[in-house]
Amino acid sequence: TFHESLTQEQQNKLLGAIHIRASQFYKSWINNIESKVLSGHVWQLLLNEFINTSIAVYKHDPDAAKWLTYAYELFLARAPVLGGLDGGWAEGAYYFHMNMETLVEIPQRIKAYTGFDFMAIHPWYKNQADWLVYHFPPGSSADGYGDNTEELFEPPASYASFASIMGRLTKNPKYTWYAKQIIASHPKDLATEPVLRWFRLNSEAQYSEPLIPTKMDWPMAHLSGEVGVAAMHSNLNNPNHDIMMAMRSSSFGAYGHILADQNSFNILYAGKRLFYRTGYKVSMNDPHRLGWSKHTKSMNGMLVNGEGQPYSVEAYGHFSRFLQGQHLAYLKADASNAYQSKETKEDFGVTQFFRHVVMIQDGIIVLYDELVANKPVNWSWLIHSLDNMQLDSLGNQFTASITEAVGKGRLWSSDSIKWKISNKFDVPAVLFRNYQGMRTKEYKDSQWHLKATNNQPQEKMRFLVVLQIGKSGTISKINEIKTIKGSQKLQIGDWTIEASLSTQLAPQLLIQSVKQNTAFSAYGNNLQFKSDNHIGKIEGSSKILELING
């Protein structure tokens, strides 16, 4: 804005300095960044500044045209680099914050100069609202995936800024609802928020907000399949009593700020962490991060002979099934490829790791794991809690509690197991970054870690776990019902749960409630309910049956 006020000598010095830096970026990026899995800082901010620089010197530097052409084509080809068509952000909620300005400002620059509206064309921009609402609800901790999410106890003002702007630009009322929910709790924070501040000052008034429906309709669950994260909620419209179950099984593997957490889950109640991953990101190559917080052992996941998933893009997973109705939601995740990597020269012999998860609105979560290896191994089923955990090893039961709720779990398995409980990290977190002016951090080594491992190595293993979440005194009794050998049948309140535990039986998980007119099966061609036999169109498919006024 003041370029013409400078002397010719000053202009030449400034343009010369810009040329040196911009040309170095261009030479190092071309034939590199476009094919690289991820270069985090480029996509977080450098590409945005590179485009701004190219535009600023377009009439003054003959190379600016090729810089701008490359950056324009790179963005259209790869953005959003860590997001899928159906929303989500692979590095998680903490590092999404660092990409917000690039994701908004570059499309707006393109639209201003060419008329092409990238946001209107790319589905991610509309669908990202669902990821915000389901994985980082207003007033709630984040879902727990990606580095530094242990620091996010509620959406910061940057999320309100992004959502407010996206609501105006996409006309998706979910964004606007989300932003207003955050601002209502912290009305002063947005005025001081630097993220997208210039856009809010310069452009926000040009775009009107969409109307928010009187009542927002939130289904129980949402899946961002391309990124590989899902979240289930018992009641998003009543956050003080909402149970949140988040899960990850992703084609992105473990890379950058993405952790080794395929087929892992996190559970929150009223936005507070109940069963949740543990540890801290001290720094990228810190011993605690490499030996704990990035490692599978810190997650609610699975170890094989004590080993976790390799730190590699080749150690991946995916969601293969997703169903939901009025009373329950279902996910099937597949991490069969998550325990091997040619890149890291690791292969722990896993050939199958299917995890079925069913959330029932009555505060019941069912997990059913199918495990196969190419040799006998020790399978370790993991669960963690931040504040406390008690174990009843004889009854295969465990309990964790927070001020808002209690979580009780019970485990059944195809082979006998042994338990181990600890409240110490294998690798302690040490605060070494404590220079003057740094934000104070505290690394507590008092989080709880529970592990159930088969007594004898097995090629095949199955686990059935029932988690009950609710206020103290509201947890229903679990009644075991006699059934065929190798199968486990349970009655919990109005719900009947039956699973094939023996590895000699075909895998199956059945859940029914006559009172709620609801039935579910993980496998099979037929679903029998209330004396009727319902036949599915796809052989072996999962099924939910709900009788409406029936």
Q: What is the pLDDT of residues 327-363, one digit of tens each?
A: 999 999 999 999 999 999 999 999 999 999 999 999 9
Calculate mean pLDDT across residues 1-13.
Answer: 88
Output the pLDDT for position 434. Answer: 66
pLDDT digits (tens, 9 = 90+) for 471-527: 988 899 999 998 889 999 999 999 999 999 999 999 999 999 999 999 999 999 889
Output the pLDDT for position 235. Answer: 94
Write down all domains in the chain, each with its CATH number in brackets: 3-206 (1.50.10.100), 221-473 (2.70.98.70)
pLDDT digits (tens, 9 = 90+) for 85-95: 999 999 999 99
Residues 67 and 72: their CA atoms lie apart, in Å, by 9
Calculate mean pLDDT across residues 188-215.
Answer: 90
The mean-pLDDT minimum among 4-8, 47-51, 332-336 falls in: 4-8
Q: Decide if pLDDT at 256 tops 90.
A: yes
SS3 10: helix
pLDDT tier, 436 (very low <50, low <70, confident <90, very high otherwise): low
Question: Given CA atoms 164, 165, 169, 170 in this order, what sign does their dihedral have?
Answer: negative
Q: Decide if pLDDT at 438 tops 70.
A: no
Output the pLDDT for position 11. Answer: 92
Calculate mean pLDDT across residues 127-156.
Answer: 97
More confidently predicted of 512 and 40: 512
Q: Decide if pLDDT at 537 tops 90.
A: no
For the ranges 29-43, 127-141, 469-483, the one whose mean pLDDT is highest: 127-141
Output the pLDDT for position 187. Answer: 79
Rounded (10°) CA dihedral 512, 518, 521, 527: 100
The tokens describing 135, both together, are 């994985």
Rg, the chain, Cα only: 25
Q: Decide if pLDDT at 188 tops 80.
A: no
SS3 158: helix
Average pLDDT across the chain, whole number: 95
Interior/surface letters 251-280, b for 16+ CB within 10 angstroms, e for the rest = bbbbbbbbbbbbbbbbbbbbbbbbbbbbbb
pTM tops 0.85, yes or no: yes
- Planar angle of CA 373, 490, 239, nearest 5 degrees: 90
pLDDT digits (tens, 9 = 90+) for 56-106: 999 999 999 999 999 999 999 999 999 999 999 999 999 999 999 999 999
Calculate mean pLDDT across residues 375-389.
Answer: 98
Q: Cα 187 to the chain's mean position, in Å?
A: 27
Calculate mean pLDDT across residues 429-458.
Answer: 85
Output the pLDDT for position 1. Answer: 62
Output the pLDDT for position 2. Answer: 79
Output the pLDDT for position 505. Answer: 97
Q: Locate the DSSP E strands across 361-501.
A: 364-377, 379-385, 390-392, 397-401, 406-413, 417-422, 448-454, 458-470, 478-481, 487-492, 495-500
The mean-pLDDT minimum among 83-97, 114-128, 437-451 falls in: 437-451
Q: Decide if pLDDT at 38 tops 90.
A: no
Q: Decide if pLDDT at 445 tops 80.
A: yes
pLDDT digits (tens, 9 = 90+) for 260-315: 999 999 999 999 999 999 999 999 999 999 999 999 999 999 999 999 999 999 99
Q: Decide if pLDDT at 182 tops 80.
A: yes
E strand or H helix at 527: strand 526-529
